[in-house]
Amino acid sequence: MSFSSTTLDARRAVITGMGVVSPLGVGKAAFWRGLQSQRSLARELTLFDTREFKAKHATWIEGWQPREWIAPHRLKRMDRFAQFTCVAGHLAVQDAGLALSPEMPNPRAGISLGSALGGYAYAESQHTAYLERGLKGLHPALGVQGFGGSAQGNLAIEFGLQGPGTTNANTCAAGNAALGDALRLIQYGSADVVLAGAAETPLSPVVFAAFDNLNTMSRYGAYRPYHRDRDGFIMGEGAALFVVESLAHARQRGARIYAEIIGYGLTNDAYHMSSPEPSGRALQSAMRLALEDAGTNAEAIDYINAHASGTPANDPNELQHIAAVFGDHAKRIPISGVKPFLGHTLGAAGAL
């Protein structure tokens, strides 16, 4: 079977728009300036009482105002998780110069999202309201607000996206998996455009306590991946969405192209719920699968944005298995992570 160049272009996935909601700022320009400042935004958590906790620091967005992008009647039915997603979506679509609207539903435009917790924090706050005031304390729309797919549904409504829609809960890898799934949707010809990325709003007492009990968060408020004195991560919130479209579709409308997604690998450790598997077989396999999928080799890679969680167990494990895959070339590849500036945004981390 032979394929024309036009057919091949329809199976190549490119990024044409980016939207970011983060403690560093809202929008890609503010986000980039924040990264360039090389300043950590970690500070003592004041959103709830932390006296019982060993960890007491986080990063979050002060004075969140989504009304610039979302109509008031829509905001009433969205929790913070869905709001972050939709605002990041608006920014990405605007950045891409793409015409998507609920007035003109598009069956060739889809969604691929990720989030570890979805609306868990909002549901927790509603449970508190229920204990205090009973049924009258609950938001009338709670039934469609607190579940993991609520952001996907709201995003679809916001832009008339009638193509394929998925939301994965692959914990810290959710954003990466969302982009990988978007690549597959384009490669399989299931969509011409996919809004892909991840969002997380985890800052609630129970969520914070759960990770505090795991001893994975810094007690000293210093996020120091790969440092000898590292003692865990600092929790944060945020969202990042991308417009992923077929190269053919992007060229047809004269879109600016930031990058091409050319390879993706996904595996499971099948070992432990929070500790990395020592041999790294699955981790190494994911990297090799991504290289193979891209039709390239380790020597072609010139930068690695690492997980860099800052925990005593993860950091050496990650570097050990990067070295196993990249060999001597690993010594020449810059490796860094942005979590010290953002905080660890859990399911949104990969996308951010």
State the catalytic residue, choosing from 57, 90, 249, 307: 307
Judge whether residue 189 has pLDDT over 80.
yes
Domains of the chain as residue ranges with CATH: 5-262+338-348 (3.40.47.10)
Q: What is the pLDDT of residues 293-333, one digit of tens each?
A: 999 999 999 999 999 999 999 999 999 999 999 999 999 99
State the catalytic residue, choosing from 86, 90, 172, 321: 172
Q: What's the rounded mean pLDDT across residues 332-348?
A: 94
86 is catalytic: no
172 is catalytic: yes
73 is catalytic: no
Report helix, strand or coil for 199: strand
Percent of all residues in the chain with a pLDDT value above 70, rounded to a whole number: 98
Judge whether residue 1 has pLDDT over 90.
no
DSSP codes of every residue in 54-69: S--EEE--TT--GGGT
Q: What is the pLDDT of residues 137-167, one digit of tens each?
A: 998 888 888 888 999 999 999 999 999 999 9
Confidence band, pLDDT 50/70/90 cuts, at residue 6: low
Neighbouring CB atoms inside 10 A of 272's CB total 10
Kindly give, in sequence order, each residue whose CB lies less than 8 Å from that of residue 74, ignoring residues fewer than 6 positions away.
154, 157, 158
List the structure tokens of 187.
């490669």
Q: Number of helices and strands (H, E) in the chain?
A: 12, 12
Report helix, strand or coil for 230: coil
Q: What is the pLDDT of residues 169-188, one digit of tens each?
A: 999 999 999 999 999 999 99
DSSP codes of every residue in 54-118: S--EEE--TT--GGGTS-HHHHTT--HHHHHHHHHHHHHHHHHT---BTTB-BTTEEEEEE-SST
In what helix (H) or strand (E) does residue 195 lie, and over which residues does it extend? strand 193-200
